[in-house]
Structure 1
Amino acid sequence: MAKKRISYFMDNDIGGFYYGQHHPMKPHRLSMTHNLTLAYGLYRKMDVYRPRLATPDEFRQFHAADYIDFLQRVTPDNCQEFTRQLTKFNVGRSGGDCPLFDGLFEYCQLYTGGSIDGARKLMSGTADIAINWAGGLHHAKKSEASGFCYTNDIVLAILELLKYYARVLYIDIDVHHGDGVEEAFYVTDRVMTVSFHKFGDMFFPGTGDVWDKGSGAGEYYAVNFPLKDGIDDDNYERVFEPVIHKVMEMFQPSAVVLQCGADSLAHDRLGCFNLTIKGHGRCVQFVKRFNIPTLVLGGGGYNIRSVARCWAYETALLLDTAVDDRIPFNDYWQYFEPDHRLHFKKNPEMVDQNSRGYIDQLKIKVMENLRCLNAAPSVQMQEVPPTYFVSEDEDEQNPDMRPRVDRRQADGEFYDDDKDHGMDIS
């Protein structure tokens, strides 16, 4: 079998954005992930790209024009001029999930640009797999920020893929339901959304019951597998593999988007699952076996050491490259003390509340829903809209596309802040 061509998107500036001192979302985890991929030498086996900044027009392919205009203009210094819009768009509210911080729009442009560019690499046939660990922000809505997410790079990447591919499958292994993506494609049969997540009224976002299955032309094209606390590697595999196998059989996707939220790992600060990195990685390996063009994205993950380990390991899996459990020396060596190991064990004190009977009952219901699909939907294909592929020197040709903001956060400050304020991110 020919080796897969991997495109990997990363901008070193992404790790410098800062949600705030006590906020669990730390873009710094992306710098740590990238540094591990460098330390393991994985960059030598893939094409590494610096993503473009997504343009306002690209955002408007899904997001409301007034929302994007607001994100472009608002800053912490002028926010008093936008009091009504801050409430309307769920940004910057006191104690809210989606704070207003320096360089917010550029941050959205970077993580979204990487996902759109990854989709275009697949469409052009120059990559079999594209990776953008900065992407995967699945909660953002058309006119609203939600759950640490401001713009929905996943929806925009899927819309790009639909210009070329007849059917796109979206798979979400984040501990939280992929509500923003499901909502965007709830009434279409060209996109199937499949989400494995913790479900409950008290757990964000509170959506994703097994009975939520799409509507109209999209009925049965939304697949939800709601799980209880503590699911471990074996039980997750027992769920994931048969469901995805049946989805592949019935939907026959032309392209796949895989969201690899790492908050489903054991020891996450906000999550309640008990997966190890190897268990999480098995999902990536299983999807890869189908040999379908695949866009691989990040997502949640609030134990930054675990996130970096997980996504570096999954980069290696996608490259069919074995990596040593002993982490090589890197710029963030102190974060991986005391053992400097890539893998960790599940939490022995966490009980898996997903009984065999509960799992089997849900699988029966999901399989019944999938059998309601007669066959993969046929699509009347028309001329593909023009899609441009950006040259490496486009930034020099369009200097206005790369505005920069001053950020005071040095690498060490993130480490010290969390320690000083008693925040356990180990």
Structure 2
Amino acid sequence: MRSKDRISYFYDGDVGSVYFGPNHPMKPHRLCMTHHLVLSYDLHKKMEIYRPHKAYPVELAQFHSADYVEFLHRITPDTQHLFSTELAKYNLGEDCPVFDNLFEFCQIYAGGTIDAARRLNNQLCDIAINWAGGLHHAKKCEASGFCYINDLVLGILELLKYHARVLYIDIDVHHGDGVEEAFYFTDRVMTVSFHKYGDLFFPGTGDAKEVGEKEGKYYAINVPLKDGIDDTSFTRLFKTIISKVVETYQPGVIVLQCGADSLAGDRLGCFNLSIDGHSECVRFVKRFNLPLLVTGGGGYTKENVARCWTVETGVLLDTELPNALVQCCCGNLPCDLVVMGSNPENYLSVCGENLNSKSYLTTIKMQVMENLRCIQHAPSVQMQEVPPDFYIPDFDEDEQNPDERNDQHTQDKHIQRDDEYYEGDNDNDHMDVA
């Protein structure tokens, strides 16, 4: 057992200020709400807080195609009417709209996951948290499912520089298809996704029969579930499978995607997990005492998302949060958030009966165990010289247009708001715990 985990937490307030559109279910404002709750419970005092660097285009192109990254860099709401062919090619539209500061949004959340991986690689922390990350649907050459850049793949690629084997675990209600696809042919990453499957539910992949191919055969594990799964069924299955996975695969580091759309009452989800059940998965993974990178993901009832990720920050800090009322003023939207203990039904509406029978769950479990038996031992790899961490583009500041270099938007970025990381002296009385 480690004496005390060192936690690195990544946050930039700008990531929560972007707006997907009035009818879009993705509300990045949930990240500001989460952060305000973290501050309200004084959790920031127990960890190191960092503003992530904005990932350079060449860093994003470690996975994504250079032309796709360049297009994201170039496109704006005002110019998108000129790029109808490219919008279709790269799957931007209703689900993945073009909005102001889209590319910067991608740079920040991807930069957070890349930075988290680098701190773990350099043994500067034991656990790294980036709630803004976890956008697991993005593909090499296209956006998908509200995701533009796949920060998880980029983070895993960083971890592979130092670790022979990386375990990726996904508890989002949607299948982690983008991450699975990226590593489908390698045994150096094992992907394990627990998700809703069937009835044309997005993204339509994630059958238990999808196990990987070539060198990656049996290194993709899918746990397809039906509507209404509850804490007891989910956590029992999760612990059984993850225990066997860790024993068999012997990873050097774990990446845990904590999509909160698997909570009961989610706008797009259909599971019946409470915050207690969801966070129990985080608690269980933490007990392996392996380097751990934790991200957010889906989650479309934003108050519940903020509660969940705050509780899970506490779990990672070994800090139990009281059943206290927090007055959380997020921008112009005041909201009362309550972190409850063992009474989730008080604020999470149940989505119907559990359609996952004991026999169905037993069948799924046996399928997974059978696939794991096909792995004779943990794969080894001949490690090469470690590539450098940072990819700094070459440019001469003196050759830049000074008006462009010092535009108002850029100047504003250098101003740190008093309340971004820590409670201010004058303007945060609303954040006191009642």
For the criterion TM > 0.5, the same-fold answer is yes
- Measured against aligned partners, the alpha-carbon deviations of 1:119-160 in whole angstroms (never above 9, x if no partner) come to 001001000000000000000000000000000000000001
DSSP 3-state at the match of 1:353: coil
Residues 246-257 of structure 1: matches in 2 within 5 Å?
A: 246-257=244-255
Residues 11-410 of structure 1: matches in 2 within 5 Å?
A: 11-91=12-92, 93=93, 96-332=94-330, 334-336=334-336, 340-342=338-340, 344-345=344-345, 347-348=349-350, 350-388=352-390, 404=409
* Paired amino acid for 1:76: P
1: CA distance, partners of 2:84 / 2:275 = 43
Distance verdict in 2 for CA 1:213–1:403, change over 3 Å: farther
Is this contact kept in 2: 1:327–1:342, CA < 8 A?
no
Q: CA deviation at 1:83?
A: 1.4
- Measured against aligned partners, the alpha-carbon deviations of 1:182-207 in whole angstroms (never above 9, x if no partner) come to 00000000000000000014100000
Q: What is the TM-score with the length of structure 2 in the denominator?
A: 0.88
Q: CA deviation at 1:335?
A: 2.3
DSSP 3-state at the match of 2:254: strand
Greater CA deviation, 121-130 or 319-328?
Answer: 319-328
Is this contact kept in 2: 1:327–1:341, CA < 8 A?
yes
DSSP 3-state at the match of 2:281: helix
DSSP 3-state at the match of 1:328: strand
DSSP 3-state at the match of 1:335: strand
- Measured against aligned partners, the alpha-carbon deviations of 1:92-112 in whole angstroms (never above 9, x if no partner) come to x2xx21001000000000000
- Measured against aligned partners, the alpha-carbon deviations of 1:329-356 in whole angstroms (never above 9, x if no partner) come to 332484236xx34453254562000000
Q: What is the TM-score with the length of structure 1 in the denominator?
A: 0.89
2: CA distance, partners of 1:402 / 1:217 = 50
- Structure 2 counterpart of 1:395: none
* Paired amino acid for 2:282: V
* Paired amino acid for 1:312: T
Gaps in structure 2 of 5+ consecutive residues = 393-399, 414-434
* Paired amino acid for 1:32: M
- Measured against aligned partners, the alpha-carbon deviations of 1:19-54 in whole angstroms (never above 9, x if no partner) come to 001100000000000000000000000000000000
DSSP 3-state at the match of 2:369: helix
Is this contact kept in 2: 1:106–1:403, CA < 8 A?
no
* Paired amino acid for 1:270: L
* Paired amino acid for 1:335: C
2: CA distance, partners of 1:248 / 1:403 = 50
Is this contact kept in 1: 2:327–2:336, CA < 8 A?
no
Distance verdict in 2 for CA 1:403–1:162, change over 3 Å: farther
2: CA distance, partners of 1:348 / 1:122 = 38
Distance verdict in 2 for CA 1:257–1:15, change over 3 Å: same
Distance verdict in 2 for CA 1:387–1:78, change over 3 Å: same
Is this contact kept in 1: 2:227–2:270, CA < 8 A?
yes
DSSP 3-state at the match of 2:62: coil
Gaps in structure 1 of 5+ consecutive residues = 391-397, 408-426
Aligned residues with identical type, % of pairs: 59
Distance verdict in 2 for CA 1:401–1:213, change over 3 Å: farther
* Paired amino acid for 2:336: F
Is this contact kept in 2: 1:167–1:252, CA < 8 A?
yes
1: CA distance, partners of 2:336 / 2:302 = 10
Q: CA deviation at 1:254?
A: 0.5
Distance verdict in 2 for CA 1:209–1:349, change over 3 Å: closer
2: CA distance, partners of 1:389 / 1:285 = 35
DSSP 3-state at the match of 1:331: strand
Is this contact kept in 2: 1:53–1:401, CA < 8 A?
no
Is this contact kept in 1: 2:172–2:298, CA < 8 A?
yes
Q: CA deviation at 1:401?
A: 12
Cα RMSD over matched residues? 2.1
Distance verdict in 2 for CA 1:13–1:348, change over 3 Å: closer
Is this contact kept in 2: 1:187–1:216, CA < 8 A?
yes
Is this contact kept in 2: 1:30–1:308, CA < 8 A?
yes
- Structure 1 counterpart of 2:396: none
